[in-house]
Every structure is written in C-alpha cells, then in structure tokens.
Amino acid sequence: MAGVSPSTLRLWESQGLIEPIRTPSGQRLFDSSHIDRLKMISYLRTEKGLNPAAIREQLKQESADADTDSASNEEELTSGSNLSIGQKIRRMRREAAKTLDAVARDLDIPISLLSTFERTSQGLSLKGMHDLANYFGTTITSLSGQEEPSGAESLIRSGRWSTWPTTFSGVTIQCLAEGRNQMECHRFVLAPGASSEGAYRHPGEEFLHILSGNLEIMLDGSNFFELAAGDSFYFESTRLHSWRNIHDGETVLIWVNTPPTF
C-alpha cells in the first residue's frame, strides 16, 4: 500500500521516521495515518533526495504548519498572477474560510500532504489534484495558468509547447492549444510507472491517441483497456477512470478533454 519493501519499513523505523503500533506480542500494525506518512517519506526520499535527518525535520515542520495554519504568507497571496498552484489553492481555501483540517477531512487527504502542497505545489497525485480543484470550483487547467485566448487561433510549433508546472510525480503535461477553449488539448509524457494514483470522474468527454509506449486505462473500476502506439480511445468523463504507464520506458500520448473540465 505504501509502495515500499518490508526491509525499507524496518530501516525507516530504526531511523525514527515511522513508529508503528505494536501489539502485546510485538506485531507491527499500520493504520491509514501511517500509510500516509510512509508515502510522504517515500516522496521526500526519492523525489527530493532528502536524508533521514532532513526528512524528520521536514515532517516536524509539516506538523507545525498544519497545527498553526497561520496567515503569515498573506502578503504573497495578494500578488495575483504570479502565484504557484499551491498558493492559489491556499488563497481559495482562505477565501472560502476553510481550515486545512476541514479540507483534508472533506477530501480524505492527509493534512500534512495538503500543507506541503500549498507551500511547494508538490506531493499530490493527479487524482488528488483533480479532487482539490473540483472542491474549489475550478480545474487543473485553470490552476496551471492557461490564460484567456487573445484570438480565435492558436498555433504552436513542434517542440515549443508550454509545460505545466511539475506537480505530479512522473507526469509531464504540455499544452497543444493555448487559451481557455472548448477543447483542452494536451501532450502527456509519462515516466515508467507513472499513473493517476486513483480513479476520478468529471463532466465531459475524452479522447486520447498513443504516440509511443503503452497505457492501461481502467473504467468503472473493472474494465481494463491496454493501449499501444497508434491506438486511440474515447470515453465519457463521467465514468470513473484511472490510468497508468505499463511500458518499461516513457509513454507519450495526445489527450483531449471537452468541455474544459480537466
């Protein structure tokens, strides 16, 4: 569930990063909060390259931030267009008079993970980011900074795509049509093993075309489709869907959503 080996669990326990529940017989037990903490440790170790001491300090800071949720960064939240995705979420949360704890409970997101995301724009899965955007009545596309179109045309030359801020581990999203249009057209580049990390749904329709690699799509929790280079796939976005790269290298695809609800 945490995506790490038993030996890694024992190592992190010996390093003081995780403290499982112990039964009278000495058996280790892990509840949902432990799983969340393990995922955060894994992210800080593999994505940020932090050592155990730095991870302990980071986790301690996350806990302090979640407890206080002070308004010390209010000045940066009034600067408008220069805000990061995490800062935009923080501003919307405060404008809605919601606490970190309330949003975390409503969306079943660890409060430490939400606090980290507001400060760094890192750590949430694409599914978690989609749920968070929907919660505040916006879309990931809007949060990424796409502006209103200046005209009826959008020409983007090969290789000159603008890239979304790196928010999801192993997922690179490039814009193929600038502006707020009726179709959201993107180029996805997925690292080996990259996935949505959960299923989500929203209004609209989706079309995707695989340029290279292999992608697995799951619909309605039980229907699996394996797509290879050259394959195309269409489905209604209201169906619960998730996906992952099942290729041993990068998978690259064109992904179109309409209307703009992604």
Rounded Cα gap, residues 106 and 76, in angstroms: 26
Superfamily per CATH, domain 150-258? Jelly Rolls (2.60.120.10)
Cβ(156)–Cβ(186) under 8 Å? no
Relative orientation angle of helices 111-120 and 32-46, to the nearest 10 degrees: 30
Give me the mean pLDDT over the 142-149 stretch.
65
CATH of 1-65, one of 3.40.50.720, 1.20.1070.10, 1.20.1050.90, 1.10.1660.10: 1.10.1660.10
Report pLDDT digits (tens) over 225-258. 999 999 999 999 999 999 999 999 999 999 999 9
What is the structure's pLDDT at 75? 45
pLDDT of residue 49: 86
**N- to C-terminal Cα separation, the chain:** 27
**pLDDT of the residue at 148:** 53
pLDDT beyond 60 at 177: yes
CB 186, CB 255: distance < 8 Å: yes
DSSP one-letter code for 195: B
In this predicted structure, what is the pLDDT of residue 218? 96
**pLDDT at residue 70, as a whole number:** 47
Domain with CATH 2.60.120.10 in the chain: 150-258
Other CB atoms within a 10 A radius of the CB of residue 102 amount to 13
Give me the pLDDT at residue 131, please.
Answer: 87
* Overall average pLDDT of the 8-19 stretch: 90
User: For 66-124, what is each residue's pLDDT tens digit?
Assistant: 555 544 444 444 445 577 888 889 999 988 888 888 898 898 888 877 887 888 787 78
What is the location of CATH 1.10.1660.10 in the chain? 1-65
Pick the more confident residue, 249 or 2: 249
**What's the pLDDT at 66?**
53
Q: Could you tell me if 29 and 22 are in contact, meaning their C-beta atoms sit under 8 angstroms apart? A: yes
Residue 234 CA to residue 255 CA, distance in Å, equals 10
Mention every residue, 6+ apart, whose C-beta is less than 8 A from residue 3.
Answer: 39, 42
pTM score above 0.85: no
Q: How far apart are CA 187 and CA 174, in angstroms?
A: 5
